[in-house]
Structure 1
Amino acid sequence: MAISVPTDVSTGSTAVRSAAPWVRWTAFGAGIGAAASTAVVAAASGLGIYFARQVVTPVRTRDENLEILAVTESEFGRQVILPANADTTVDGTYSLYFDDGAGHARIGAIRSYVPREGTVQRDVEEVYSGDLGKALRGWWSGSIYPTPAAVGMPQEDVEIPVENGTAPAWLVRTPGAETWAIMVHGRGARRTECLRAVRTAREAGLTSLLISYRNDGEAPYASDGRYGLGLTEWQDVEAAIRFALENGAKDVVLFGWSMGGAISLQTADRSPLRRYIRAMVLDGPVIDWVNVLSHHAKVNRIPAQAGRLGQWLISNAAGRALTGLAAPLDLKSMDWVTRAEEIRIPTLILHSKDDDFVPYGPSAELADKNPDVITFEPFTEAGHTKEYNVDPERWERVVLNWLGNALGRTRHPSEHRTGE
């Protein structure tokens, strides 16, 4: 998931660490008289409109904000030298995409990190595509693998009927599985984000369906070309559940990352097929959009009134002409801390306390309010949805143990159908 405003510093890390020059100029102008104050209000309004549009508008191209300084050979094999930042200096396994996404390398252990030099040297575990030696810039990602085959899993390419066409998906079958894992990626990501979980799902005895959904660059775009933050995308997850049921599944487990977590929660709340959802596994989920948007406004040094205006524009019909949304989005209805007792499907939340993109606080609070249904597993050090990248063994162990208990104690959906 990525929400951004223009900045005067490109760090390559997830969080924006500097306000735009014109934001600072606006703040300066606030103290120079009534005329300037009027200008500040106008500027804040413009910034609020821009912020609202950024939240709901899909990004068609990724910003190659990370310089690739050198590729070398050493006693450990091939290595890449990168600028040291909050992402590249964290242990774990990641991806480096380059050449507008056509190039993809899997990056592993840190071999050298000299803070005073501002660089970090890491292993290049594998280059899946492109010529890393010629690459100059790219972007960092937690999506490690390009396809299920790269994880060593059997892969089928399937198409799921959705609004405006069909959405491509990967099907990874587990022989004899009657429960399917429907995997839902986050905002600004693609189904490759979910590949980190397919081995775990297979070990748990689940067939995996890794889906695309509206506006993600693979599935058909929505008519308005705007994100619904979960309030529209859930229909594509419902289509995936229907596909699973028509192809041998008796029930499903929803896996969701970031906004994919918000989408999964909306599916469990709104879909007529929710009775087939036996459990949910949510990684770095958006539990409360107001909390997330307030956090991003603060991180990007957007004045409070501009941030509130952005939320109002998204939530109200009067803002449609400015946001491009076909219908306003009820942000309050997506506050699951307030609605905690309404969640009745067993849910595991894995969320890093060091997530600087989607704060973990609402995840922890949600579990505190509904401990009989929701299990919260906190991680540390990992950035947003990178818990697996930092500690894959723990991630897999926690998910496997929890699924074993959740699926073992949950009744089959056929036992709930009386009177439906």
Structure 2
Amino acid sequence: MTATVGTSPDVKVHKSHMRTLVGTGIGNAVEWYDWAIYATFSPFIASALFSQADPTSAVLSTLAIFAVGFVARPFGGFVFGWIGDRIGRKTSMTVAVALGAVGSLLIGIAPTFAAVGAFASVMLLIARLIQGLAHGGELPSSQTYLSEMAPKEHRGFWATLIYTSGTAGILAGTLLGAILTATLSKDDMSAWGWRIPFLIGGALGVYALFMRAKMKETEAFEAEAPNEKRLPIWPQIVKYRKQALQVIGLTVGLTVVYYIWGVVAPSYAATSLKMDRGEALWAGVVANVVFIAALPFWGKLSDRIGRKPVIIASAAGAALLHFPMTWLLKDSPWQLAVSMSVMLFFIAGSAAIVPAVYAELFPTHIRTIGVGVPYSICVAAFGGTAPYLQTWLGSIGQAQLFNVYAVILLLVGIAFAFSIPETKGKDLTV
């Protein structure tokens, strides 16, 4: 069985190419799994690795380290972007997933605060910095790789693999959280149960490492002239600063509303709205299934009508429905499932195709780092601080300010969508 792939109609997909795409998806899923389980199990991490003299401070410290992990992402975007554009997409993706596995294993074996004091918190910080560095390079590398492998007529649809595999990772972490919460006592969860997801994440990362070692490099990178691979990086980043700013503008709203509704909503419902934690996690599972189902719809639509209309419709729908869905969410699992599902359906529009859009904005020799650096800066500045900001504003009775902030960022994304060229069907070898 064969199908066209890449930028040339003469390139065929065989089983080896499918194995390559599976390797891309698994590595991406592991990255998202790692970040999701940290958000899901943050209350247990706070109780185990921080002083319990002030439980609220411990939770906020845990969320602050979640944000610190994002700070390392721009450095990862630069380092692994350089590797991807100079040595190869495959090498960048393989090293990134290996480093991510190390970070997950460190969290899984971290000693408790009761045993070693503040060193427990320091070890968590180091692990998150390692993960941030790795994950800052993973997403732009895998996005670039997948976009270059895809047939240009169906690149929007192929790009949905990024968020499909990533959401599968989140879903796996959410399901594991629901199962552990239902089967283990609260004492067991606090003592050792919370470590299980991180140890599993480390093992999955090792498996993804071996899968990626078998991958092939993209046609676009191999066809690039050697002198283009040796061009100085910083002048090229400056040259394509407009495209870098467009990546940031398209990402700000998406990253914040996605972390609100796709990642931290079940944990927020359990901690702030006092919803049963197990029921909140199951509601999150339902919503993420809806999200996965919506991704190919939007991806195929973008291949037919263009990228810009889909991005605008997605951000506008999310902006219009953010407040109604926030008002719907009170203390019932069905309310959480419905509000998350509605929001994730519209969020899926942008999430499905931005991997293709980002790649289509840059030429081959600067594509990975051109996407990686601005994307990582944006995710660090806005996505990484979103859970902390949401929790802090809620604790001082100003939760609505956070909602206003999210909607404003979505409107920024709409404005930037009008500024980009229509890139549907673009040849990525040019």
- The TM-score normalised by the length of structure 2 is 0.24
Identify the structure with the greater helix proportion.
2
Look at both structures and tell me which one has the larger radius of gyration over its CA atoms. 1
Q: Which has the higher strand share?
A: 1
TM-score by length of structure 1 reads: 0.24
